[in-house]
Amino acid sequence: MKKIIECVPNFSEGRDEKVIGAIAEAIRNTQGVTLVDVDPGKSTNRTVYTFVGDETAIVEGALAGARVAREMIDMRHHKGEHPRFGAMDVCPFVPVAGVTMQECAEIAKAFAKRAADELKVPFFLYEEASDRDYRKKLPDVRRGEYEGLDEKLKDPKWAPDFGPAEFVPAWGATATGARMFLIAYNVNLLATSNQAHRIALDLREAGRGPRQPGKLKDVKGMGWYMDEYNLAQVTVNLNNYKVTPLHVLFEEVKEKARELNIAVAGSEVVGVVPLASLLMAADYYIEKEGLFIYQEEQKIRLAVERLGLNSVAPFNPKEKIIEYIVAEAPDEPLASLSVREFIQEVAARTSAPGGGSASALMAAMGAGLGAMVAKLTQGVRKFEDREAHMQAAIPVLHDLTQSLIPMIDKDTHAFNEYMDGLRMPKSTEKEKTARKAKMQAGLKTAVQVPLNTMRLGEKAWNALCETAKYGNPASKSDVQVGARALETGIWGAFQNVLINIAGIEDEVFKEKTMAEAKAIETRSREKCAEVLAILEKN
């Protein structure tokens, strides 16, 4: 899996468009980096940049931004609502995909060393990159802010991890480290800054102090007034959205605002968010309101609407959800063909695509036909007594259809892996050994792919039985064709398991795989007969 790291540096400039643009351009022009968001704030006089890249590119992107800040930002003239102590105030590295937190901690250290050496400024490590408890939390590292930094650096206890232990007036200091995906989130209030701050004190984990902790864990927050929006905000950092999700914070603010007779006017996400955070919100409102929504796109829309994320600026999921931003086009050349083109590919004088890809297609068509009938039944007034059955079947059949489509290409890819091994040289014993190992690995992959097709297909049977029992009778033939297509797809995948497993020398693998494949194929025939019998009775 490709390594994807997110970097979210906060620079102490949110008003000068020339500086904001220059930093963005430096990051954007770094090879291997994708700049996904630039979020300036005039009141905070601070801009949050979000970009992603691999372990090498992400450091280069952060360095590029820091170099510009060193030249163009002078902290001696900085004023803003947000706590800060440096031109590049904070620079966290966040694991997104294929990378661990510890790896991100090492990346932060590598960046800090290079930046401190080159720019001659102090860098502090925090969160997972720091091994000292008293300076792990960002508020502790930044306590005293820029104005207190000169004295702070004179204390040996607060010597920077990298760079000079001396005050650099134009720069200040920077904190860098590794952390969980932090969501910067603001809830809008038609209120005063004092009222917003009062709510923030009630909710943030630190509360009003050790004797008056707040209600929500892993939440940092305060209240302020945003002149450009002409409203107040409870502004928070959700340090762990799985502990305190977006919707929990939003609903708690609503409750506190209700007690104070204050109006809530939506909310905003600063930067980007993980997909899971919005799906969690959607699931909460779906359950709370008794809704039936199963498509991801509609879930996202529901979350955006309920949280009021469009209230002060448009919320474009493709630009705000990290998984959508970094998503690559699927490697599915076969599944992307027209029906005519796919059939012609199968009919061509080549061994791939062959029966395995065709089997995956048939299984997908089987699940898809079941999904179609269930969807055509659900929501129809004369079938209201069947609504619960259809609502149970639709998400299963819909999701399995989507999951089976990629198997069309995976089968061909698996066969190509075996062929790569077959074409390897075999002149020496070493070459023969490497060739055999490659071919054996290719055969196992060629077995696992159709077996996965069988596993996915099998999961559709119970939902297809429900559709046969309670689906629109006018669509009886569609369910019949769906059942036969699904059975044939599973049977065809089973034949691919049989033909490829014969050449595998790992007897333990063969025995275990065959037992599972035979069981699925047998159950498939039985379930197909069950579906057809149900339809004959109806």
Higher pLDDT, 199 or 36: 199
**Contact assessment for residue 55 and residue 107, using Cβ atoms and an 8 Å cutoff:** yes
Section 121-128 average pLDDT: 96
Confidence of residue 315 (pLDDT cuts 50, 70, 90): very high
What length does the chain have? 538
How is the chain split into domains, by residue range? 4-178, 183-326, 339-537
pLDDT tens for 46-73 read 999 999 999 999 999 999 999 999 999 9
Cβ proximity of 80 and 146 under 8 Å: no
pLDDT value of position 350: 87
DSSP for 148-209 reads GHHHHTTSGGG--SBS-SS--TTTB-EEEEE-S--EEEEEEEES-HHHHHHHHHHHSTTTTB
CA-based R_g, the chain, Å: 29
Q: Is the Cβ–Cβ distance between 23 and 47 less than 8 Å? A: yes
Per-residue pLDDT, 1: 55
pLDDT(538) > 90: no
Residues contacting residue 238 through CB under 8 Å, at least 6 positions apart: 182, 183, 185, 218, 219, 244, 245, 246, 249
Pairing state of beta strands 263-270 and 183-190? Answer: antiparallel
Average pLDDT over residues 9-30: 96
Residue 206 has pLDDT above 90, yes or no: yes
Q: Is it the case that residue 393 has pLDDT exceeding 90?
A: yes
Worst-scoring range by mean pLDDT, 199-208, 247-256, 404-413? 404-413
Looking at residue 352, what is its pLDDT?
81
Q: What is the DSSP string of 318-371?
A: HHHBHHHHHPPPP--TTTTS-HHHHHHHHHSSSSSS-HHHHHHHHHHHHHHHHH
Average pLDDT over residues 148-153: 95
Question: What's the pLDDT tens digit per position in 399-413?
Answer: 999 999 999 999 878
Q: What local confidence, expressed as pLDDT, does residue 181 receive?
A: 87
Residues 153-167 have a mean pLDDT of 95
Q: How far apart are CA 375 and CA 218, in angstroms?
A: 41
37 confidence band (pLDDT: 50, 70, 90)? confident
**pLDDT given for residue 180 in this prediction:** 87
Phi-psi region of 144 (alpha: psi -120 to 50; beta: other; left: phi over 0): left
Per-residue pLDDT at 323: 84
Burial of 240 (0-12, 13-18, 19+ CB in 10 A): middle
> For 112-132, what is the mean pLDDT?
96
Residue range 436-459: average pLDDT? Answer: 93
Q: Can 4-178 and 339-537 be said to share one CATH topology?
A: no
User: Would you name the residues annotated as active-site residues?
Assistant: 82, 411
The CA-atom distances, in angstroms, between 415 and each of 140, 351, 435, 440, 502 are 56, 9, 15, 12, 15
- How do beta strands 88-97 and 4-7 pair? antiparallel
CATH no. of 339-537? 1.20.120.680
Note the CATH number of domain 4-178. Answer: 3.30.990.10
> Is the preceding peptide bond at 210 cis, omega within 30 degrees of 0?
no
Mind listing the pLDDT tens digit for each residue in 469-489? 999 999 999 999 999 999 999
Over range 20-37, report the average pLDDT.
95
Kindly list the distances between the CA atom of residue 335 and the CA atoms of 326, 338, 364, 451, in Å, as whole numbers in the listed order.
Answer: 22, 8, 11, 19
Q: Is 174 left (phi over 0), alpha (psi -120 to 50) or beta?
A: beta
Residues linked to residue 86 through DSSP beta bridges, in sequence order: 172
Per-residue pLDDT tens for 319-333? 899 888 878 788 899
What are the residues whose beta carbons fall under 8 Å from the beta carbon of 298, sequence distance 6 or more? none
Q: Which helix (DSSP H) or strand (DSSP E) does residue 60 occupy?
A: helix 57-72
Residue with tokens 């069309």: 408
Superfamily of domain 183-326: Formiminotransferase, C-terminal subdomain (3.30.70.670)
Determine the 3-state secondary structure of 222 from DSSP: strand
Return mean pLDDT, the chain.
Answer: 94
Find how far residue 289's CA is from the centre of its chain.
26
Q: Which two tokens stand for residue 204?
A: 């943030």
